[in-house]
């Protein structure tokens, strides 16, 4: 999928070393690597890879997000772990706490076995929430959706009890080649059909950052997250972009599809993208192809300039979705894939809380609804805070759905509001996190137990 993938494959061919590929793993193992790309992670066989640890990366890299979606325990950003461990070393991986034990003692193994059993018990208790609504104790309703990368991921979304799709990361469809309009339309229609009448939010492709496609001939960039990524790439490649827009429109006949633009940093980009969307609609209409003429368009708020100019963007769209993975990285100037600064990556930093509140308030003033599709939404400890800040929809990694639903259903709206008000007055990320933990200890202690 990316340049490093190609480089490694070429080296294997040139040197004649077939190398042990991930696909050739025969025994269930813990994988230790310098790095894994998002595409390599997506291809991991869960039955063979019990867990993985890498030197590089941080918890909101797409590799880590993918590991969470697959339910593979993982620790990324362990600096030099790959040179410190030897093949065959027995290890214990605690992905919850980010702890790796080399040659774990018997008492430690027993402790972890007990903990795993306790977790399974709580998880099976939570399974009964599957068909229950995402509603607070006092009847305040939220939309709880799932994030997907490929149509097949809808299974996990529905099995875990979310209703719609709040983020379809469509760039995963482009891994090996540019998909045709028809191939894309079929993928989007399948997702829409399976979750109807709930919404399926199709995010237009977010290439760049830590996701590069070798077949798209993208130049190497020193600073890819600040560079030619997402909407910037799409507006510079209108034919590729319009093919995707036409495909989404073709699939929109179920009338539950929404379109979302990523990495918007100013209103001009929204206007330009909407113009291309209007062109795509006209082209389909000319050929008599049906589509939803009232399709809703939204914008990801993941760049601070977009949050701060939400009032300028709002008149052009119907919803915002807070992309906190990037909003945190761009606001705090902390590269989301760099383990050296991972400690500075703070979703509860007061700057982030204020930007979320500002976006929600401005959006609501303009009659928009506000979603949140970053990993922050999948942390059940933070659900009351986000409810109190006024977020209307959570879209989370499928395995996180039961916990987030439990957190929502355990709290009263007034408690959430009080927590949010305190957070807005708070001086540090740690203080806000402690307050979230305290409230969770009162309302849903099983969540704290599960996360420890």
What residues have CB less than 8 Å from 412, skipping those under 6 apart?
136, 137, 138
Give the span between the Cα atoms of 40 and 35, in whole angstroms: 10
Partner from Mg ion, ligand PEP, none binding residue 371, C-beta < 5-8 Å depending on class = none
What residues have CB less than 8 Å from 351, skipping those under 6 apart?
331, 332
Task: Estimate to the nearest angstrom the gap between the alpha carbon of 43 and the chain centroid.
Answer: 17
| The one segment of 2-10, 109-117, 197-205, 294-302 that binds Mg ion by CB under 5 A | 294-302
- Which of 40/326 has CB closer to ligand PEP? 326
Output the CA torsion sign for 191, 303, 39, 98: negative
- Which of 93/156 has CB closer to ligand PEP? 156
Q: Does residue 204 bind ligand PEP (CB under 6 A)?
A: no
Give the span between the Cα atoms of 347 and 440, in whole angstroms: 17
Binding mask of the shown chain, residues 58 to 77, with x at each position contacting ligand PEP by CB under 6 A: --------------------
Cis peptide before 197 (omega within 30 of 0): yes
Q: How far is the CB of 182 from ligand PEP (least distance, A)?
A: 25
- Catalytic status, residue 373: yes
Binding mask of the shown chain, residues 343 to 382, with x at each position contacting ligand PEP by CB under 6 A: ------------------------------xx--------
Q: How far is the CB of 61 from ligand PEP (least distance, A)?
A: 9
Residue 305's Cβ-side half-sphere holds a number of Cα atoms within 13 Å equal to: 7
Q: Count CB-CB contacts under 10 A for residue 27.
A: 6
| The one segment of 13-21, 80-88, 114-122, 324-332 that binds Mg ion by CB under 5 A | 324-332
What residues have CB less than 8 Å from 10, skipping those under 6 apart?
none
Q: Does residue 377 bind Mg ion (CB under 5 A)?
A: no
- Which of 165/373 has CB closer to ligand PEP? 373
Token couple for 139? 């009847």
Which among 17, 254, 373, 436 is annotated as catalytic?
373
Q: Does residue 57 bind ligand PEP (CB under 6 A)?
A: no
- Which of 55/302 has CB closer to Mg ion? 302
Specify the pairing of strand 165-169 against strand 393-396: unpaired
Q: Does residue 171 bind Mg ion (CB under 5 A)?
A: no
| The one segment of 32-40, 157-165, 317-325, 428-436 that binds ligand PEP by CB under 6 A | 317-325
Which residue in 68, 169, 229, 258 binds ligand PEP (CB under 6 A)?
169
Give the span between the Cα atoms of 449 and 432, in whole angstroms: 19
- Which of 349/410 has CB closer to ligand PEP? 349
Q: How far is the CB of 231 from Mg ion (least distance, A)?
A: 11
Partner from ligand PEP, Mg ion, none binding residue 373, C-beta < 5-8 Å depending on class = ligand PEP
Cα torsion at 395, 175, 208, 189 (round to 10°)?
A: -40
Q: How far is the CB of 322 from ligand PEP (least distance, A)?
A: 7
The 3 state secondary structure assigned to 417-428 is HHHHHHHHHCCC
Give the span between the Cα atoms of 405 and 144, in whole angstroms: 8
Give the span between the Cα atoms of 108 and 112, in whole angstroms: 6
Specify the pairing of strand 29-33 against strand 49-54: parallel
Q: How far is the CB of 335 from Mg ion (least distance, A)?
A: 13
- Which of 205/436 has CB closer to Mg ion? 205
Closest CA to 360 of 384, 331, 388, 390: 390
Angle between helices 324-332 and 350-365 (to 10 degrees): 120
Q: Does residue 420 bind ligand PEP (CB under 6 A)?
A: no
Which among 62, 234, 436, 440 is annotated as catalytic?
62
**Alpha helix (H) residue ranges in 237-339:** 238-250, 267-286, 304-308, 310-313, 324-332
Which residue in 63, 324, 379, 415 binds ligand PEP (CB under 6 A)?
324
Q: Does residue 326 bind Mg ion (CB under 5 A)?
A: yes
Q: How far is the CB of 151 from Mg ion (least distance, A)?
A: 20
Q: Does residue 388 bind Mg ion (CB under 5 A)?
A: no
Q: Count CB-CB contacts under 10 A for residue 25.
A: 15
Q: Does residue 446 bind ligand PEP (CB under 6 A)?
A: no
Give the span between the Cα atoms of 359 and 402, in whole angstroms: 27
Partner from Mg ion, ligand PEP, none binding residue 324, C-beta < 5-8 Å depending on class = ligand PEP
Q: Does residue 326 bind ligand PEP (CB under 6 A)?
A: yes
CA distances (Å), origin 63, targets 46, 67, 75, 179, 204: 14, 6, 10, 23, 20
- Catalytic status, residue 436: no
Partner from ligand PEP, Mg ion, none binding residue 61, C-beta < 5-8 Å depending on class = none
Q: Does residue 206 bind ligand PEP (CB under 6 A)?
A: yes
The catalytic residues are 62, 373
Residues at the contact surface with ligand PEP, assessed by CB under 6 A: 167, 169, 206, 302, 323-326, 373-374
Site of interaction with Mg ion (CB under 5 A): 302, 323, 326
């Amino acid at each position: 999928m990316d340049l490093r993938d190609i480089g490694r494959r070429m080296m294997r061919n040139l040197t004649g070393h077939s190398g042990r590929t991930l696909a050739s793993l025969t025994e269930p193992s813990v994988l230790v690597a310098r790095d894994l790309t998002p595409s390599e992670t997506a291809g991991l066989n869960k039955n063979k890879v019990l867990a993985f640890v890498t030197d590089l990366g941080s918890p909101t890299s797409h590799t880590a997000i993918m590991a969470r979606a697959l339910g593979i325990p993982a620790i990324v950003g362990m600096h030099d772990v790959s040179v410190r461990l030897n093949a065959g070393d027995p290890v214990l991986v605690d992905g919850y706490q980010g702890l790796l034990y080399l040659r774990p003692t018997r008492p430690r193994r027993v402790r972890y076995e007990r903990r795993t059993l306790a977790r399974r018990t709580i998880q099976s208790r939570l399974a009964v929430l599957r068909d229950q609504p995402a509603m607070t104790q006092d009847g305040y309703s939220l939309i709880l959706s799932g994030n997907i990368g490929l149509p097949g991921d809808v299974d996990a979304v529905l099995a875990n009890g979310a209703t719609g799709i709040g983020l379809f990361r469509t760039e995963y469809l482009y891994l090996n080649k540019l998909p045709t309009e028809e191939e894309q339309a079929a993928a989007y229609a399948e997702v829409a059909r399976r979750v109807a009448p709930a919404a399926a939010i199709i995010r237009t492709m977010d290439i760049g950052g830590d996701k590069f496609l070798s077949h798209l001939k993208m130049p190497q960039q020193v600073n890819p997250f600040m560079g030619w990524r997402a909407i910037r790439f799409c507006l510079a490649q209108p034919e590729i972009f319009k093919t995707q827009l036409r495909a989404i429109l073709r699939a929109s006949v179920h009338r539950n599809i929404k379109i979302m633009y990523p990495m918007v940093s100013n209103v001009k980009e929204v206007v330009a993208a909407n113009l291309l969307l209007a062109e795509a609609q006209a082209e389909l209409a000319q050929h008599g192809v049906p589509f939803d003429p009232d399709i809703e368009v939204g914008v990801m708020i993941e760049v601070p300039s977009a949050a701060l100019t939400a009032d300028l963007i709002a008149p052009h769209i119907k919803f915002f979705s807070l992309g906190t993975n990037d909003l945190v990285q761009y606001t705090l100037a902390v590269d989301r894939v760099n383990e050296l600064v991972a400690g500075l990556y703070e979703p509860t930093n007061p700057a982030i809380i204020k930007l979320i509140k500002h976006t929600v308030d401005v959006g609501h003033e303009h009659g928009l609804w506000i979603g949140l599709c970053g990993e922050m939404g999948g942390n059940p400890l933070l659900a009351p805070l986000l409810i109190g800040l006024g977020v209307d929809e959570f879209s989370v990694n499928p395995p996180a759905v039961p916990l987030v639903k439990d957190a929502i259903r355990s709290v009263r709206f007034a408690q959430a509001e009080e927590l949010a008000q305190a957070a807005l007055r708070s001086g540090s990320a740690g203080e806000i996190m402690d307050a979230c933990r305290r409230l969770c200890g009162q309302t849903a202690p099983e969540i704290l137990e599960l996360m420890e």
